[in-house]
Amino acid sequence: MEYIKIRFGKNLGHMHSRLQRTIDEMFRQVNPILVLQEQAWRPQMDVYETSKEIIIVAEVSGVHKEDLEVELDQKAVRITGIRRVTARVADMKYHLAEIAYGKFERTLFLPVPISPDEVTASYSDGFLKITMAKQLPDDYVRQIPIDHKFGNS
C-alpha cells in the first residue's frame, strides 16, 4: 500500500502572495507558451463539512501521488505538489497551451479546528481527498446513560 505524506506543522498562516498570483496570471494571458515553463499553478479545490468532518477535494490530474504532500495543523491545511511537463517533440509548434505544469502550493484555512490525529487522505482518478475530524469544543458535554445493573447482580 502506498501512502500520501501528511505532516503536522505549526502556524501554516503564510500563503502564496496575492501579488505573485496576479503576476503569474498576467504571464499566462500574454503568451500561452509561458504556461509550459515551470511556474506556480493553482489546482481547483472544494472544501465542505459535515456534522463531524471537514473534507477537501483537490483536482490534481497528472500529478503522481508520490509528488503530493499534505501538511496541516488545527487551523489550516497546505497541499503541495508538482505536475511534470510531458515529453516534447523537437519540431512541435503550439497553437494552444492551457495546461499548467510545475509546482503548486495551496494553503486553505479551515472553518473550524480539526483533530490532527484523525486525518485520512486518498488519491483516485486525479482527485486528492483529505478527510479531517472536527475537534470537539472545550465546553463539549456529553451525557452518558447509566445502566441499571451494577457488578454481577
Strand order across the beta sheet in which 45-49 lies: 45-49, 53-59, 127-134, 114-124
What percent of the chain has pLDDT above 90?
A: 42
With cell 441499571, the residue in question is 148
CA distances to 67, 80, 137, 146 from 100, in Å: 16, 15, 41, 59
The residue ranges of every structural domain in the chain are 5-86+94-134
Instruction: Report d(CA 139, CA 134) in Å as an integer.
Output: 14
Q: Rounded mean pLDDT of the chain? A: 79
Q: Is the pLDDT of residue 92 over 90?
A: no
**Inter-residue contact 42 to 103 (CB < 8 Å):** no
Q: Is the pLDDT of residue 47 over 50?
A: yes
CATH topology of domain 5-86+94-134: Immunoglobulin-like (2.60.40)
What is the amino acid identity at position 31?
N
